[in-house]
Amino acid sequence: MKNLKIATFIIAILMLFVQCENESIIDTNNLESTIPNEEILGDKTDLLKSVNESILNKVYQNRDAIEFVYTGELCGLNVTGMYADATAYQSLHHYFFNGNEGDIISIYVPRTTIGFDSAFTLYFGTVDTELIYVTSSDDVIADAFGGCFSDPYIGDFTLPYSGTYTLVIHEAAHCGYPMGYEIITTGINCNDADFDGCQNDEDPYPHSIMTETIIIDGIDTGVENIFENCGTMSDEIQDIINQINDQYTGDNYYTLHKKLSSEVSKLTYYWVKERKITRVERSKISTAIWKSNIPYSIGS
Ligand SMILES: [Ca+2]
Ligand SMILES: [Ca+2]
């Protein structure tokens, strides 16, 4: 009797286990469309090479034929996507995120359907500009479905530049449709618009002017644009310019132009006092301010 109870208990546990297993099995349509690993011909390295050359390079070389648009932004939240059929590569999925040089990030793109041999390539730049290859990943972490090959992952990756990055989700070996995926990232920070290390909500100048030198209305003063406390000297000058522009009615140009000159002069007086700039540099800024066409109104 005791043995029967133990046997019943074991059977119950086994049934529970089988049930759990069943829940994780995905629909059979996907299973049927999957090509087992051993049936994929050729060496994967060659496949990858040909994929990269024939698809990605071709796509990027024929930019006019391709719609270069972003599918979405990566901003710390997990993102899901799907390539439904063979037309997928007419519209490669591009995602963007902003990063600072030295940021340490991770990107993991597990498949959500058994047929997708997911892979990704990371570029610096945007789809509207030049894309500079940074890194790529393919078979790193075994997929949850026992599908073909493995899923891509990069961990503890140090971003080499500050600016916008573009992540392209693509396949490596073709294993079947649909091709679903999830993008899981860490270390991507969407709250520092000007990449100066200060979070937007704590940054007095969330869109700092980061030029190397102070440029006023197109006139390069040649004076170093010092960055301090989340802002730059150009930010402080721009604040004054914005205030002056706000007061412009269309017939008070000379009054405001003089006021601008006097306000900036007060600011640069303190910069000299604090030894941030020299007297010569102060006069270069004054000259640029005087030559500038400020105030102005947009469209005038
Ligand atoms: Ca910032
Ligand atoms: Ca800033």
* pLDDT of amino acid 97: 93
pLDDT for 235: 97
Two tokens, residue 83: 């390539």
Counting ligands in written order, the one closest to the CA of 199 is: 1
The domains of the chain, with CATH numbers, are 30-186 (2.60.120.380), 200-291 (no CATH)
b vs e for 33-58, b when ≥16 Cβ sit within 10 Å of the residue's Cβ? ebbeeeebeeebeebbeebbeeebee
Q: Which residues of the chain have pLDDT under 50?
A: 1-2, 4, 6-45, 47-49, 54, 58-59, 62, 298-300
For residues 23 and 256, give the distance between their C-alpha atoms in angstroms, rounded to a whole number.
72
For strand 93-99 and strand 163-171, is the pairing parallel, antiparallel, or unpaired? Answer: antiparallel
Distances (CA, A) of 242 to 223, 233, 254: 21, 14, 16
What's the rounded Cα separation, in Å, for the pair 218 and 112?
A: 51
Report which bound ligand comes closest to the CA of 192. 1
Which residue stretches of the chain are H helix? 2-23, 28-32, 44-51, 58-61, 233-246, 253-273, 279-291
pLDDT at position 53: 52
d(CA 189, ligand 1 centre) in Å: 11
What's the gap in Å between 247 CA and the centre of ligand 1? 28
Q: Is this model's pTM higher than 0.75 or not?
A: no
Q: What is the pLDDT of residue 290?
A: 96
Which ligand is closest in space to the CA of residue 204?
2
- CB atoms within 5 A of ion ligand 2 belong to 194, 196, 203, 205, 208, 230
Rounded to the nearest angstrom, the distance between the alpha carbon of 74 and the centre of ligand 1 is 18
CA of 234 to the centre of ligand 1 (A): 15
Please give the pLDDT value at position 92: 79
For residue 98, the CA-to-ligand 1 centroid distance in Å is 12
- The 10 Å Cβ neighbour count of residue 139 is 19
Q: Residue 124 in contact with residue 131, Cβ under 8 Å? A: yes
| Predicted pLDDT of residue 45 | 47
State the distance from the centre of ligand 1 to the C-alpha of 208, rounded, in angstroms: 7
Distance from Cα 229 to the centre of ligand 1, integer Å: 10
* CB-count burial class (<10 Å; 0-12, 13-18, 19+) for 125: middle
- Amino acid residing at 3: N
Ligand nearest to the CA of 235: 2
- Whole-number pLDDT of residue 100: 85
Instruction: Report how far ligand 1's centroid is from the alpha carbon of 109 (Å).
Output: 28
